[in-house]
C-alpha cells in the first residue's frame, strides 16, 4: 500500500495519509497476529492503545498465522448482512464500551445495509462506490485467493455505534503497492533513470513471470518498472535458473523506446564474487576482460544485450573518494551531488541495494551495499552511475 484514505459520512475524508506517516501511529508486536503485526499507539480515542484481534474465520484464510487463536464475536451486535468479520479493535478482548468491529465489504448494497442496521451515515460517494464495484483490487488491503478485501469498520463509543468508516489503500500503480523506489544518477547528480519495485498480494498463488516472496496468503509478486530520462520505458521480468536465468540477479529487462516503440532485451549476469557471498557458489567470473581499475575492489555483476557490445559493469561503491578516483581514471564526472555524496559517506544504508554478508561474519553482521555502474559502449567507458534505493526511510530525488 502507498497510502491510507478513510471515508465517513457520505464521502468526508476522515484520514488521508501516506504510509510513511501512518506507520508512526503503530508499534510492531511479536504477539500480534501476523496478518497485521501491529498495535495502535496510545491516542485520545484509545488512551490504553488498541490491539487488532482477528476472528477465527478471517485467520482461517491465513494458515501460516499461528501466533494466537482467532476470536468469535458472539458477544457483539453483528449486522447479519456481513459475510466476513475481520477483527475486533480494542484495548483488550473483553472491551465492551469503546471498540471497532472490522468487516470485509462485499459490495455497496451490503455497505448500505450495514449503515442502516447501525443507524449510521453511509460513508462513501458514488465515485468510491464505482471502485468497489469494478476494481476493488485498486484499494484493497488483503487478498484471499481471488478476493480483494476492502475493510470497513463500525466504531463504538460508550457502548453505542458512533461512526461507520471505509478504509481504502490506493496505490500509484493500480493493483500494486510500492515497496521500493530506485534512481540512478550521473554527471554530478543528474537523474538518469527512475522507477519502482511494486508488490501485489497474490492470494497464495504464484504469478507467472513475476518473482514472489513470502508464503501462503502472504505471497507477494514483485514487478519492477523504470523510465530512462524521457525516452525509454523498462519493465523487468523474473527469470528462473532452470530456464537459463542467473542464480543471483534473476531478472531480464524489456526496454521500449517511447519514440519508436522498438524493443530490446537486457540481460543480467552476477559476478563470481557475488555468487560466493549470496549462495556460496563457485560458478561465474569477475569480468576481468574489462580491465577495471584497482579501486574497483568488488564487482557485483553486469548487464548486457545480445545484439550489441553495450555493457554496464556494477561494482560496490565504498565512499565518495573511491568513486571520484574511478571517475578521474576514465575522465568522467562524478555521479553524485552534495546530497548523494553525504549519503554515500555518512549514511550508505539509505542508498543500499541490500544488506549482504560481505565480510563473511554471519547473521547480524551484514553491511549495506551501494552500487555504481560503468557503462561500456564499443569498449569505451562512457558513463559512471550511482544508484539510490529508497524503502521509505528517506527521500529520493
**Planar angle of CA 332, 303, 378, nearest 5 degrees:** 55
Phi, psi for 340 (deg, rounded to 5): -70, -35
In this prediction, residue 20 carries a pLDDT of: 59
- β-pairing, 367-369 with 371-377? unpaired
Q: Mean pLDDT lowest for which of 233-247, 308-322, 338-352, 355-369?
A: 355-369
Q: Over the Cα atoms of the chain, what is R_g? A: 25
Q: What is the pLDDT of residue 392?
A: 59
Q: Tens digit of pLDDT for each residue in 166-205?
A: 999 987 777 788 888 999 999 999 999 999 988 887 777 7
User: What's the pTM?
Assistant: 0.73
Q: Is 214 left (phi over 0), alpha (psi -120 to 50) or beta?
A: left
Tell me how crowded residue 101 is: count the other CB atoms within 10 A of its CB. Answer: 25
Q: Which of 346, 343, 368 is nearest to 357 (CA)?
A: 368
**H-assigned helices in 118-214:** 126-134
DSSP-derived secondary structure for 39-82: EEPP-SS-TT-BEEEEBHHHHTT-TT--SSPPB--TTS---TT-
Give the residue extent of every domain in the chain.
3-168, 177-390
Residue 120, Cα to own-chain centre: how many angstroms?
35
pLDDT at 362 over 90: no
pLDDT digits (tens, 9 = 90+) for 25-53: 788 888 887 788 888 887 777 888 899 99
Extract the C-alpha cell encoding 203. 492470494
Distance of alpha carbon 54 from the chain centroid: 24
CA 184 to chain centre: 19
Amino acid at each position: 500500500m502507498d497510502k491510507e484514505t478513510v471515508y465517513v459520512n457520505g464521502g468526508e475524508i476522515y484520514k488521508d495519509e501516506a504510509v510513511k506517516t501512518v506507520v508512526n501511529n503503530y508499534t510492531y508486536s511479536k504477539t500480534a497476529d501476523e496478518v497485521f503485526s501491529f498495535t495502535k499507539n496510545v491516542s485520545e480515542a484509545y488512551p490504553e492503545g488498541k490491539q487488532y484481534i482477528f476472528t477465527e474465520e478471517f485467520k482461517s484464510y491465513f494458515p501460516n498465522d499461528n501466533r494466537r487463536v482467532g476470536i468469535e464475536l458472539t458477544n457483539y451486535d453483528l449486522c447479519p448482512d456481513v459475510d466476513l468479520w475481520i477483527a475486533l479493535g480494542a484495548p483488550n478482548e473483553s472491551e465492551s464500551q469503546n471498540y471497532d468491529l472490522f468487516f470485509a465489504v462485499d459490495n455497496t448494497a451490503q455497505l448500505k445495509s450495514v449503515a442502516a442496521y447501525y443507524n449510521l451515515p453511509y460513508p462513501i460517494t458514488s465515485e468510491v462506490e464505482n471502485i468497489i464495484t469494478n476494481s476493488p483490487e485498486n484499494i484493497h488491503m488483503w487478498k484471499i485467493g481471488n478476493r480483494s478485501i476492502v475493510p470497513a469498520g463500525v466504531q463504538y463509543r460508550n457502548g453505542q455505534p458512533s461512526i461507520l468508516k471505509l478504509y481504502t489503500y490506493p496505490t500509484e500503480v493500480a493493483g500494486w503497492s510500492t515497496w521500493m523506489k530506485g534512481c540512478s544518477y550521473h554527471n554530478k547528480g543528474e537523474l538518469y533513470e527512475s522507477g519502482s519495485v511494486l508488490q501485489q498480494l497474490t492470494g497464495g498463488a504464484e504469478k507467472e513471470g513475476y518473482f514472489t516472496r513470502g508464503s501462503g496468503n502472504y505471497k507477494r509478486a514483485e514487478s519492477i518498472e523504470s523510465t530512462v530520462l524521457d525516452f525509454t520505458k523498462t519493465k523487468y521480468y523474473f527469470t528462473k535458473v532452470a530456464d537459463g536465468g542467473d542464480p543471483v540477479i534473476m531478472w531480464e529487462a524489456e526496454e521500449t523506446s517511447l519514440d519508436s516503440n522498438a524493443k530490446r532485451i537486457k540481460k543480467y549476469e552476477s559476478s563470481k564474487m557475488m555468487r560466493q557471498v549470496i549462495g556460496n557458489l563457485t560458478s561465474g567470473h569477475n569480468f576481468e576482460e574489462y580491465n577495471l581499475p584497482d579501486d574497483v575492489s568488488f564487482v557485483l555483476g553486469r548487464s548486457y544485450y545480445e545484439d550489441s557490445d553495450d555493457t554496464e559493469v556494477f561494482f560496490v561503491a565504498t565512499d565518495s573518494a573511491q568513486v571520484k578516483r574511478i571517475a578521474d581514471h576514465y575522465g568522467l564526472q562524478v555521479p553524485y551531488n552534495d546530497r548523494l555524496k553525504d549519503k554515500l559517506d555518512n549514511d550508505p544504508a539509505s542508498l543500499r541495494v541490500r544488506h549482504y554478508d560481505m565480510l563473511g561474519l554471519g547473521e547480524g553482521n551484514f553491511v549495506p551495499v551501494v552500487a555504481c555502474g560503468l557503462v561500456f559502449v564499443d569498449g569505451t567507458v562512457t558513463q559512471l552511475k550511482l544508484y539510490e534505493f529508497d524503502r521509505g526511510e528517506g527521500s529520493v530525488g
